[in-house]
Amino acid sequence: MDSSAHRTPSSLPLDQLVAHALSELDKIDYSRRSMRRYRTVWGHLVTFSREMSLGDGYSEQLATEFVTAYRRQPGERVNANEAWRRHIPFLVTVLGDFARDGRVERTRIDTSRLQVPAAMKKSLSEYEQYARDRRHLRASTLRERMRTIAVFLDDLGSRNVTSLDQLQPADIAAFVASRGRLGPRSMSRTVSDVRCFLQFLLVRGMLQRDLSQLLPTVRVPRDATIPSVWEQELVERLLKVVDRSSPRGKRDYAILLLACRLGLRLGDIRTLRLDDLKWATAAIEITQSKSGAPLCLPMTEEVGEALINYLKSGRPQTAHRELFLRAQPPFTPFAEDGHFYQIVKYWRDLAGIQFRSKQHCGLHSLRHTLATQLLREQTPMHVISEILGHATTASTMIYAKADVESLRGAALDTEELRHDD
């Protein structure tokens, strides 16, 4: 019998650890492309370990030295045969987690594979109804929350917890530990979703003690990250490359302008209706999907011309009142979870746009770019807040991290305006 079968993953020789981890990936149906990527990176790790004489097994020292030696540097371009270097930090972390826990957690969970124990399904359904009817959660928020809780219940089932009255503090601790690779924001949201569910179970008498108190508090400062912004020259390159002679190009150009010129959120662009366009006053009036607050923005000449061009010769004839429709039959509105990322990516790739360092580059980053540009133009902070639809300037302050000097100027402008009142 293979003696390695009785050894913990962390005690295995590195090449055997890699073989076991690849087998685990295969069991949970990773694609051939992903398997090839993991096999390549981990193969280089094994070779590196041997060449550097860093021991026979996995260690934090080995991981750190390998990542330091081979990871792609900011702004560095790698050729095709070195494309594996782009994925080094994450894939090495996955192997380290497997060495510690003996299992691999999918980054993107296939919800169709989740198995909620039968005895918990009724409680899950009741909570969903409560969150929708009593807490009035938006559909997208509710969907994400129920997904998180389904993952939680599936995890309990994998630990042989078949009913909620069997739930123990150790089960909650184990679930939180299994989410260890999540970033601070994702972990905070996960913990919050599970906490709300446990509190619901307590109030409904499905739990006899408040287990929600056992969950850790994950604090994420509002300004913990710097918003991703584009250089203005790149924004203009993006807009310039859009083919405004085609129906798709007319639509996409209008969508991009609404984000980078008016700063509209993705959700508000997706749900924008024909009735929201007030041609008599040259304005766009909406109820914001995120806050429910009204927002009125001026329809600039540039934006107005793009919208007219799309409406006259790009938008299909249909009874739908949503402004933007899919470019292929049956020309339906975009789904609620549509994020428009492919729209930005398509034209960005066509323009050959590359960034100096890794950053978000979807539609929302164009909104960030507008906010930062307004700061650089010394637009008063309260004006920027109004344009972006923020309830207070506190939400707007995060954009100042991209340009500290502009913040100082904007703050002075705000004080001057207060003295003028």
**How many Å apart are CA 44 and CA 52, to the nearest integer?**
12
Evaluated on CA atoms 355, 360, 366, 368, the torsion sign reads negative
Nearest to 41 by CA among 93, 77, 76, 108: 93
Q: Is residue 250 a contact partner of residue 309, using CB atoms and an 8 Å limit?
A: yes
Lookup result for tokens 């540009």: 373
- Residues 328, 248: contact at Cβ < 8 Å? no
Q: Which residue has the tokens 């073989």?
A: 19
Q: Provide the 3-class DSSP secondary structure of residue 147.
A: helix
Which residues are tagged catalytic? 265, 290, 364, 367, 390, 399
- Residues 160 and 154: their CA atoms lie apart, in Å, by 10
Report the distance separating Cα 195 and Cα 197, nearest Å: 5
Q: Nearest 5°: phi and psi at 345?
A: -65, -40
Q: Which residues, 6 or more positions from 153, have their beta carbon under 8 angstroms from its beta carbon? A: 114, 116, 117, 120, 124
Q: Quick one: how many helices (H) and strands (E) in the chain?
A: 16, 3
| Other beta carbons within 10 Å of 22 | 19
